[in-house]
Amino acid sequence: MAIVDIVKYPDPRLREVSKPIGDNREGLEELVRDMTDTMYAHNGAGLAAIQIGVPKAVYIVEAEAAGRNPTDPPLVFVDPEITWLSDDKQNGDEGCLSFPGIFVPVERSKACRTKATNLAGETFEVEGEGLFARAMQHELDHLKCKLLIDYVGRLKRRMIERRLAREAS
């Protein structure tokens, strides 16, 4: 078990585009294990690999947030892509382990479908709505280096940056 430090904003690593895994699956299980332990330790609903400093296209969503049994392992998404977004939107406060204590309203599609491969390398497609859809859209953003703070205006952005700087010092 390894709980790893979470990369926090404004660490420049969060602005790195994550690279596809493809057939290069060496170390993938260990990476997902570290991500799982770290997400659980911080009570997160999801985590992208870049949030522990690894720029690979992998994210996980906590089982209950993914509509599964709470005791199930997290759902693992390798090389994910969104294949469908509903026109219906949802508005809600969103948090991120890389922005501790910060919640900002983000409009997302209410439902979406994601295609990815699992740990065994099998392709799957899953549809989710509500929190699950929000989590899949949020985590995919990380892989494309888009962050929570990109959804707020300039004033609120500066407020958040000041608050994070204060807490980090």
Binding site for Zn ion (CB under 5 A): 96
The closest residue (CB) to Zn ion is 96
In order, the DSSP letters of 47-115 are EEGGGGT--BSEEEE-TTTTTS-TTSPPEEEEEEEEEEE-S-EEEEEE--TTSTT--EEEEEESEEEEE
**Of residues 105 and 121, the one with the C-beta less far from Zn ion:** 105
Quick check: is 139 catalytic?
yes
Exposed/middle/buried for 155, CB within 10 Å: 0-12, 13-18, 19+? exposed
Which of the residues 125, 139, 161, 167 is marked catalytic?
139
Min. distance of Cβ 106 from Zn ion in angstroms?
11
Min. distance of Cβ 28 from Zn ion in angstroms?
20
Residue 27 DSSP code: T
**Of residues 25 and 146, the one with the C-beta less far from Zn ion:** 146
**Of residues 21 and 96, the one with the C-beta less far from Zn ion:** 96
User: Where in the sequence numbering do the catalytic residues fall?
Assistant: 139
